[in-house]
Amino acid sequence: MGNREALLAGAKTCLLEKGFDRTSARDIATTAGVSLAAIGYHFGSRENLLFQALFAILDEWGDLSGRVLVPPDAPGLTPAQAYERMWDELLAQARAQPKMWLASMELFMQAQRQPDLLPHLTDGIRQGRSGVTAILTSTPEPDVPERSVRTLGMIQLALMSGVIMQMMADPEHPPTGADVIAGLRALSEITRHLPG
């Protein structure tokens, strides 16, 4: 592994352990086992290195989540049962990888403070919406209608972020897939009676 790769791996480790603001350039260099000057040579600054590490973590989190979203190969499950199982697996993954999920939230926070990051985050969110919609509708991603991405994809990502955030904030009462299904059914009943 070269210095660049070692620094990126070290930055990811530090982000997961300490977070963005508490990670110093020295922490990264020490974790990577390379000189402090290598950060400037390969990445220009601590911030640029940490941003690249955050995006790498977000990609890993997206890959893990995407695998969980793929409907289980379990004949006999109704669509609602398969969706409930998907939620149980997604929540279990978030419990098993809390630091990775928190790092993805940190990227959102940093993008609000660093305008140069926002277009990259926006692109990632758009890709996430499209990918989630393709998985949930069993449609090849290039064929997913934009309207479905803007509705189903947006709501699914919002649910995922919100439910996981609540689970992290109240670990004594973690939500379940059954809770999500029941909540969606209750919302469906409420919206059924909305005018027009």
Range scoring the smallest mean pLDDT among 36-45, 70-79, 99-108, 128-137: 70-79
Q: Which residues of the chain does CATH 1.10.10.60 include?
A: 1-44
Question: Which residue would you say has higher pLDDT here, 159 or 73?
Answer: 159
Given this structure, which CATH class describes domain 1-44? mainly alpha
109-131: buried (b, 16+ CB within 10 Å) or exposed (e) per residue?
ebbeeeeebeebbeebbeebbbb
Contact 121, 30 (CB under 8 A): no
CATH number given to 51-192: 1.10.357
Where does the pLDDT of residue 13 fall: very low under 50, low under 70, confident under 90, or very high at 90 and above? very high
What is the average pLDDT value for the chain, to the nearest integer? 88
- How wide is the angle at C-alpha 160 spanned by C-alphas 49 and 82, nearest 5°? 130
**Tens-place pLDDT, residues 27-62:** 999 999 999 999 999 999 998 898 889 888 877 877
Average pLDDT over residues 154-166: 93
- Is the pTM higher than 0.75? The answer reads yes
